[in-house]
Every structure is written in structure tokens, then in C-alpha cells.
Chains A and B, each alone.
Chain A
Amino acid sequence: MKLKTILMGTAVAGFGSVATAQEMANDMTLVSWGGAYQSSQQKAYAEPYMEMNPDVSITWDESSPEAVAKLRAMNEAGNVTWDLVDVVAADAIRLCDEGLAMEIDADEILAEGDDGSSAEDDFGDLLVSDCFIPQIVYSITAAYRPDRLPEGAPAPDSICALFDTETYPGKRALEQRPINNVEWALLCDGVAKDDIYDVLETEEGQDRAFAKLDTIKDDVIWWSAAAEPPQLLADGEIVMGSSYNGRWFSAIEEQDQPFEMLWDAQVFDLDGWIIPAGLPDDRLARVLDFVNFATDTQRLADQAAYISYGPARQSSAPLVGDHAELGIPMGPHMPTAPENSKNVFVYNYSWWADYRDDLDSKFQAWLAQ
């Protein structure tokens, strides 16, 4: 097996030290999302790696939002110029299905946890696809502005406040896609959390979700970029909205916006790496060496110093420290913190892989009505 020899090369090299047994390319193109997230990766993974390997140069490409399409186009053209691509879990599943991402064996290519647990155990359920190397847990969660609530209204403590336009009049911002919204709709329509996907599988269940969304349709501003809701909330355009928890964190802590988080029924989602399929040996060797380093326990914990996303390894959680600039402890801002994750919704990837096309066309038709 070709892969195995490479892996042994990496294993011999161990963490950090430059592998000499296997020829490695010195240039690497990493693809990520840009902004604060990419700079957290640069500081936590790339800079220490380049310090240890001074010959290596890393090019960043901010193409993750279009990664799926671009990777397919590159693959068809037979010229994949990317070495490592940061994508959300749902895209990783799609890329894996399309044969555009390389299948990996977590125990073989990823480092063991600091506590000695195998990579597979350490990442646990987060290995949602055969091609996916998880990095962070983020969540889609709600936030509101206490100063814009009507007089006497209690501070919202449930996600269903989104659907309660009587107590909390005003616009709310939701993501323009069915995922998350239909689950929240059913949850607030009285469906038990564990039954949601069973209900959604039926025609009546889907109608029920859209009927619930209908009740707030006129009050919703649909967003497609996660930066929009914090902006809308800051402008006073909306009273509450959903976005990534890291966006809310940076608005609240870094920009001193008067927002409050509404952690109830936050939806966990994952982001991580995939390795494009069909890389030449020397580039693959370099990428595997980098990935092994960049996803070890310490590196994942380090990233949390720059952005409020939870490390995907269980063994990283105790190592999460303070924010690099603000100096505040990051632990309580993680979506995975016990205080925040009292009521968490776990999003079912394989279910959505099947139903995404169908529900999306229904959602679009519903929007257009």
C-alpha cells in the first residue's frame, strides 16, 4: 500500500521533526474562510509549523465558501492546486461522496491525544465522514438585544422566542436555508427533540415545519452571510437573530455590542480539513505531516485563544486558555461549555445529505410564495 509507506514515513518523523525518509514538497496551498477564523489557523497551526520547518512556505486561499465547486472543477481539469481544504462537515460529506476528497483512517494519520487516547476515540462522533478531519465545533445560535425588547418583556431564554412575535415584536434574522430553521420550527411546535428527524421525514412533518415558519415569515430577514445578523442587530434592524457563535462573540466581546447570547437549542456544526483526492506523493506527504501536527491536542486548544470555537478533540478541552488579546478566559464562551450546552441540538448530517435537495427546493418554493 502506497499510503502506508507514506504514513510510516510520517510516523518515523514523529511530531514536528522534519521527515527525511520521505520526500516532501515544500510548498503548500491551504484553503480557508478568510477573516478571523483563517487568522486563528495561521497563528495556531501554520506559524509554529513554519518555525519548525523553515523551508516550507504556505499559501492561503480564501476559497472555502466555493470550495466544493472549485474542487470539482479542478478535479475535472486534472489539475488540483490545493493541498488542504477547510470545509464544513456537510460539504466534506458531499466531497467524499463525489470522490473529490481522500478517504482517511483517523488512527493512522492523526496524532494520539495528549491523554493517550487514540485519535478515533479522541474525536469520537465528530468523525462524521470517511474523509473529514474535524478541527472545531461551532454552533448556530441566537442572540438578542436586551435594550430593544418591549417594556416588561422577560429576557428570552428559549429558542422559541424566535417564533413568539407577540412577546417580542420586530424582525428576526434567520439563515436562508432550510437546515436548522425547520428543526427549530418543529421543536417550537411541540415535537420532542429526539423525534424531529422522524417527523421531518414525512410529508406532514415537513408541512408542519413550514406552517410554523409561516407564522413568522413576514418578520424574517433572511441572511446568507454570517456577518449580516450582528450588523443588523447592531443597526437595530432586528430584535434577535441566528448566526455563528464566534460572530456573536466577536461582536459582544471585541466590539462591545450590547447583545446577549441565547444558547438554547444551539445547533452544533463542525468544521475541519479534507485532503483533495489524487495528490502527488510528495505533496501528500507534506500535507499529512502538517495535518498530523495541526490537529494534535495542543494545536487545537491553541486555536481557541483566537476565536470562540470549541476544539474538536476531547483531550483539548482542559487546555483551552485565555483570549490572546483580550485576556479573558475562553472556556465560558465555547459552545461546548457546560453552562452553554444545557440544551444542544445535534444536527443529523446523513439525514440532511439525503433530504437536502428535496427540502431545499421546498424551502425556495415556500420563500417565493
Chain B
Amino acid sequence: MSDATQDGPVLAADGRPLKASLRSALRRQKMRALLLIAPLLIFVLITFIAPIADMLFRSVENGIVSDTLPRTVVALDDWDYGSGEVPDEPVFEALFVDMYDASERKIHTRLGSRLNYEVTGVSSLFRQAGREMEDIGEIYEDQFDALDENWTQGEFWAQFMGDPDWYSEAAGAEDPGPTFVMKEGMDELLPLTAEAYQMFATFAQEEDEDNVATEDPWALVHARLYQDLTAGAGEGYDGFGAEELAAAREAVGDFESTTYKEAFLNVDEDWADLEIWGTIKAYSPNYTPGYFLKAVDAQLTPHGVEAQPDDQAVYVKLFGRTVWMSLTITFMTILLGYPVAFLLAQLPMRQSSMLMILVLLPFWTSLLVRTSAWKVLLQQQGVINDLLVWAGIINDAGRLVMINNQLGTIIAMTHILLPFMILPLYSVMATIPPTYVRAAKSLGATNVTAFRRVYFPQSVPGIGAGSILVFILAIGYYITPALVGGTDGIFISNRIAYHISSSLNWGLAAALGSILLAAVLILYWAYDRIVGIDNVKLG
């Protein structure tokens, strides 16, 4: 080559350096390949990866506490569970405001259900408290009303709290009217009242689509106005309603009142329960390890992380059982599938396609039908037991228990997953040239040696592919175990299904699912390191 003697880079035909030219050609090819797969890639991302990621994210997501009780969570910052004392009035006051808002929005019960996963009884505690919030506020609403009826009139309040320009526009407008604008200086004059009125206004406009200009405010606003006035706020106001405000300032000193703590304890004395408060505090951050701890039989409590009591620990055991039984099923399918695949590969075309149909026929049959068929066969009054009794092998009292236990699950699932082992095995075996075994034999190997040292090693990639398929399918199975597994033959996926569809504890379901996914990925990785994924042939 004359090029080798030249100095400088090798050039392509168009005069560019060959290296760069090659690289750009390669990049173009890659881009074209990427474009070709782009529709599928985007489809998979949107319909498969994103939903899974979103679901798994729920295993740590916990914004519900701080979203529903924002003020309470802040107020609880200064409180320490270790002090052994129930939080003070400011916390209950914050809880009242949060709870009032939440119960109007009807989201307090949702938080109740969430916390009920951690402490039994919170669900009804919250449901009940939500009903009583208005009554607490009405203590003040009634007294303001008795003082001056204006205090319960929506129009009065709108002019008192609202910006005059906003009011002139909103009065007479159709629902929901222009967005509420607070009168300037109101949030300094009566800070708590302004906050409560803003909450009311936002809710009335956004959720109920009512016009704030005519809507009567929540009793919460009156409770907060009382709070403001007794603290001495509201001095020096001369706008709309100044007279009424001045009169109210005079009068509140004689108002009947209650502390919020007392009010809550009247609703239910469980509000003095330290566990409830400790749990609210422990679960107030936006992200929680709580679900993952639950998934491994531990619990995040106010005292820190604790192991779940023995009579509630179930998940670790189920994980272990799921992996162990899936491995057993995989092994069973190898044991039963290998000879069948071998036969398929060896038999002449006619017979082998007959056999293939026999393998595929159950594969095409509904999962439920096959599972039910196993019930008929295996139950104590079933076909197999009847045959055994008829043949005199067992007596009528000693009928075998083969279903509603682990054995039932293993038998049914081995049968159901068998085609997933046979098909990859067959596809690998079909490519092994028969001449190799013949050559081994001609060199003096016995049948056994020729199989063991020549044929079997070449079929290992098929075993690998089949095992991965069967194992991964088995570990996520739940219909078959639910139907034939009884109590000791069910899998972790049965619990995941329960938490998704019945208890609605999606966070825990997501944590359990994440662990399962991680376990499969680790096993896959280990397999890759030991056997090498390149050796797997799926066809």
C-alpha cells in the first residue's frame, strides 16, 4: 500500500480524513437505526416504563400528611415525642384550621385511611373529627351573630374583607365571579381572620364555583376573628364595617370560649394519645421509608424503626417462599421439559409436529381452565384420588391431600409454565448438528459420554433461556397460587394484588413490587455474571 508511506492522516475519496468520514457514516447509520425504532421506543416509554416508574415512586412518596395538615406539621416541629406530653394548644389550634379546611374539601378521611395503615383507629378518629369541626367554629359564629347579624352575612364579609374594586365587580356577577382580592392591609390588621377568609374564598370559588361576594363564610372565619380580637388586633381600622368591628372588639371579652385542645378531646379522647401525634410527626416528611420497612416486616414508629411483632410479620416469609417455590418450579420444568424437547428435536418431522401440537395445545388453553382442571384432578374426591382408591393403593380414609397447599401450586404451575421451558430448549436443540454426537461416538464415546460431554453442553443455552423465562414468570404469578395454593402455597404477588385492589395501600404494594423487581434484576445480573447472557438463545 502506497498510503502507508505517506505522512499525515489517511484520506477518504472526498479528501476528508478517513477516520472522520467513517465516524460520520457510522453516526448516520446509528441515527437511522434510532429513528426506525423511535416509534416503538416512545410507545414503550409512555405506556410501560413511565407508568411503572410512577407506580414504584409511590413506595416512598408521602406528601399527603403535609398537604392535608400543613400548619399542624409546622406546629409539631417544636414538639418532641420523647417528652411524653401531648402537644400544646398551638398544635391543636393549627389542627383545627387544617382539619376545618380538609373536611370542607373532604380530604381528611383520605389522610385518616393513610394513617390507619400505621395506627389502628385513626380512620374513624379523622372521620369523626371532620364532622365536628363546624360545631367548634359555630360556638363563635353564633355569638358574633347574636352580637350583630351582619357578621353572618356573606355580603357584609365580602365588603369587609374584600378589595372595594373587586367587590363592585363581583357584586351581581354570575357564579363564580372574579377571583377574590383581599383589601389592602387586612392581613396585617386581622392576620388570622384574613388567612381563614382567603381559604374560604379560594375554596368557594375553585371547588364550589360560588360567588364569594354573596356566599356566607365558614364558621372557621369567626373562630379566627375571635382569636384575632382577643389578641388585641383590629385597632385603628376605619374602612367598611369599622363600627361593627369596634363593637365586636368590645364584646369578645365576654364571649364564651373553649380551648381547641379541650374541644378535640371532647370529640374523642384519643386525641390525647401520644401514639397518634407521634405517628403524625413521624410521617410528616414528604418522603418516607415507611412502606419499605413494612415490606420487610419492620415499622417506622415514633420510637424509630422497630421490628413488626411476630404475629404480624409475614412479608419476609412470603418473599422467601416465593423465591424458593419459583426455583422449585423452574427445576421441575427443566426435569420434565428436557426429555420432551430432546424428543421433539430427534423425531422425524411428522411425529415431531404432532408432539409439538401436544405441547402447544395446553399453551393456548386459558389459564383458568387449566387451573380448574387441576382442581378436578387433584382434590380429595378428585380423579387421581378416586383412581388410587379404586386400584386399592390407598384406602378411602387415607385420600391424599394434593391441592390447597404448596404441592398443588407446584404441580399446577409446573404444568402451566412447561411450554416456556420446552420451546426455547427445542429451538436450541434443533440447531445442534447431529454430526457432532455421531463424531463423538465414532471416536469411541459411549451413548452416555457423548450426550454428557458433547450434546448436553450445547443445549445449556436453551436451559438458561428457559429457566429465566420460567423463573421470572413464576415469581410474579398470582392467579394460580390464589386458586390452588391454599394457605401455604400463596406467593408475595397475592399480597401485592390484595393491597392494590382491596386495602388500597398502594404505597406498600409499590414497595413490595419494587423489592420483587430488584430481586429479579439481581438474579438476572448474577446469571449474566455466571453463565453469560450472550449464551442465552431464545430462538
Contacts and interface: CB of A to CB of B under 8 A. Distances in A.
A356 B503 contact: yes
Given A69-B500, A354-B116, A357-B503, 4 more contacts: A96-B109, A224-B482, A237-B379, A357-B116
B317 interface: yes
A353 B504 CA distance: 12
Contact of B110 (A98, A176, A360): A98
A98 B123 CA distance: 11
B446 interface: no
A2 B209 contact: yes
The 8 closest A-B pairs by CB, nearest first: A97-B109, A69-B501, A358-B120, A365-B314, A367-B487, A236-B381, A361-B312, A354-B121
B314 A72 contact: no
A15 interface: no
Interface in A194-229: 207, 210, 221-222, 224
A350 interface: yes
Nearest to B501: A69
A153 interface: no
A97 B209 contact: no
A2 B500 CA distance: 34
Interface string B373-393: 000000111100000000000
B54 to A, nearest CB: 10
Interface in B309-339: 310-314, 317-318
B317 A103 contact: no
A217 to B, nearest CB: 8
A99 B109 contact: yes
A320 to B, nearest CB: 32
Contacts of A99: 106-107, 109-110
Interface in A346-360: 350, 353-358, 360
Given A222-B486, A368-B314, A354 B120 contact: yes
Interface string B358-379: 0000000000000000000001
Contact of B504 (A2, A98, A360): A98
Contact of A354 (B123, B318, B382, B482): B123
Contacts of A207: 311
A353 B127 CA distance: 11
Interface string B483-513: 0001110000001000011111110000000
B120 A98 contact: no
Interface in A109-127: none
Interface residues of B, number: 40
B404 A221 contact: yes
24 contacts: A66-B501, A69-B504, A97-B112, A98-B110, A98-B113, A98-B504, A99-B107, A103-B106, A171-B380, A176-B487, A221-B486, A224-B482, A236-B381, A237-B380, A353-B123, A354-B116, A354-B120, A358-B120, A358-B312, A361-B314, A365-B310, A368-B318, A368-B487, A368-B488
A94 interface: yes
A97 B120 contact: no
Interface residues of A, number: 37
B449 interface: no
B487 A222 contact: yes
Contacts of A356: 503
Contacts of B122: 354
Contacts of A157: none
Interface in A61-84: 65-66, 68-69, 72
A364 B116 contact: no
Interface of A: 2, 65-66, 68-69, 72, 94, 96-99, 103, 171, 176, 207, 210, 221-222, 224, 235-237, 350, 353-358, 360-362, 364-368
B117 interface: yes
B196 to A, nearest CB: 22
B234 to A, nearest CB: 33
A144 to B, nearest CB: 16
Contact of A97 (B123, B310, B311, B482): B123
Contacts of B487: 176, 222, 367-368
Contacts of B259: none
B116 to A, nearest CB: 6
A235 B381 contact: yes
Contacts of A98: 109-110, 113, 504
B124 interface: yes
B208 to A, nearest CB: 8
Q: Which of B124, B313, B318, B487 has the most CB of A within 10 A?
A: B487
A72 B504 contact: yes
B209 A94 contact: no
A97 B127 contact: yes
A364 B502 contact: no
A350 B126 CA distance: 12
A360 B488 contact: no
A239 to B, nearest CB: 12
B80 to A, nearest CB: 27
Contacts of A366: 311
Nearest to B116: A357
A68 B504 contact: yes
Interface in B111-134: 112-113, 116-117, 120-124, 127
A66 B500 CA distance: 9
B493 to A, nearest CB: 14
A329 to B, nearest CB: 34
Q: Which of A103, A350, A360, A361 has the most CB of B within 10 A?
A: A361
Interface in B406-427: none
Given A96-B109, A221-B486, A237-B381, A364 B495 contact: yes
Contacts of B110: 97-99
Contacts of B379: 235, 237
Given A97-B109, A97-B127, A98-B113, A368 B482 contact: no
A362 B311 contact: yes
A360 B487 CA distance: 14
Nearest to B127: A97
B395 to A, nearest CB: 16
B129 to A, nearest CB: 13
A64 to B, nearest CB: 11
A55 B504 CA distance: 37
A94 B504 contact: yes
A234 B504 CA distance: 35
A11 B503 CA distance: 38
Contacts of B506: 72
Contacts of B313: 365
Given A99-B107, A99-B109, A365-B311, A354 B501 contact: no
Nearest to A207: B311
A336 to B, nearest CB: 27
Nearest to A350: B124
A357 B318 CA distance: 18
Contacts of B112: 97
A282 to B, nearest CB: 16
A101 to B, nearest CB: 10
